[in-house]
Amino acid sequence: MEITNVNEFEAIAKQKLPKMVFDYYASGAEDQWTLGENRNAFSRILFRPRILIDVTKIDVSATILGYKISMPIMLAPTAMQKMAHPEGEYATARAASSANTIMTLSSWATSSVEKVASTGPGIRFFQLYVYKDRNVVAQLVRRAERAGFKAIALTVDTPRLGRRESDIKNRFTLPAHLTLKNFEGLDLGKMDETNDSGLASYVAGQIDRSLSWKDVKWLQTITTMPILVKGVVTAEDTRLAIQAGAAGIIVSNHGARQLDYTPATASCLEEVVKAAQGRVPVFLDGGVRRGTDVFKALALGAAGVFVGRPVVFSLAADGEAGVKKMLQMLRDEFELTMALSGCTFLNEITRNHIITEGDVQRQASKL
């Protein structure tokens, strides 16, 4: 069967993967309202295409934290990728590298930072969870830096794990043959069997609930890598993140896996962009499945987007080739969207190229 869009990888992954694994990747928190809304919010943003512009040559390349990449589409951190495919994070790293874009490696990867780095060249970021034991954190950050990772994506929306009911029903735990490789030597690489979600128990035992802005400052004392704060959805926290020295912000609701009934990231993006006032780049993750979504995010002021679930679903479907194909599809769709909107460079994508529900309401109230 010919795959024609990114959404189609999900059904293939569902066929191929054990139920516990697919449900872990696919589900959101509680009622999963935000899970649907992350997608639906994009569908409510419409285009104002400009015509009769020469679109013979289109340049979709982007510069992110000073690194030139092929497109403003990057790979979000997704945990435990060897559950999806035996090659796991290695396949993903190679696919990202061949697409000339940035991969973010999860703290909870089933492959170590060193092994992922050894897959070959590539610009890679490291996603960090802050453990109660700060020596563990310092050691991990040093290892990522030594392995050539270029930035830290600090996840700040997970003092406790969100309630993911399928994980409770399935008694989710990391399959016995796998470990969280970055913690293997610290005896934190395995998850206990529990009568609910093994991951929720692991987080409750290990992740620091006291994490605060002072820790963002502390991280800067132990690394020269820039720190992206991942999980910001309000203007207030945007300003605090910049005050705390963040080099960038990732507007994220953790793929709708933490607090349900948070607005879609596409709905929070403009508030964050306005509060940032151009001082740091703002990125978005959550619900990106089409090149049109990428264009809409950039029109709202994002410097780039990260994709999460499409990575694990395409990895499950066809390993490295699957992830490559998924990234190529998004790139091709994005380039077509630019052409049909009358844009040849990213900096030509403006707020005037889209119309949001808020715009419609403001126009109506003026009338």
C-alpha 107: how far from chain center: 13
Binding site residue list: 24, 77-79, 106, 127, 129, 155, 164, 230, 252, 254, 257, 285-289, 308-309
Average pLDDT for the chain: 95
So what's the pLDDT on residue 235? 98
Contact 331, 294 (CB under 8 A): no
351, with CB counted inside 10 A (0-12, 13-18, 19+), is: middle
- Give pLDDT tens digits for 281-329: 999 999 999 999 999 999 999 999 999 999 999 999 999 999 999 999 9
Structural domains in the chain plus CATH codes: 6-365 (3.20.20.70)
* CA angle (272, 72, 242) in 5-degree steps: 30
d(CA 285, CA 34): 13
Number of continuous H segments (helices) and E segments (strands) in the chain: 14, 12
Residue 267 φ/ψ, nearest 5 degrees: -85, -20
d(CA 63, CA 101): 10
d(CA 280, CA 331): 24
- Give pLDDT tens digits for 232-290: 999 999 999 999 999 999 999 999 999 999 999 999 999 999 999 999 999 999 999 99
Site of tokens 């948070």: 262
So what's the pLDDT on residue 207? 85
Tell me the CB-side half-sphere exposure of residue 108, using CA atoms within 13 A.
19
Binding site residue list for glyoxylate: 24, 129, 164, 254, 257
Binding site residue list for FMN: 77-79, 106, 127, 155, 230, 252, 285-289, 308-309
- Give pLDDT tens digits for 161-207: 999 999 999 999 889 899 899 888 776 756 666 667 667 787 778 88
Q: Which residues contact 118 (CB under 8 A, 6 or more apart)?
A: none
- 307-340 as b/e: b if 16+ CB within 10 A: bbbbbbbbbbbbbbebbbbbbebbbebbbebbee
Active site residues: 254
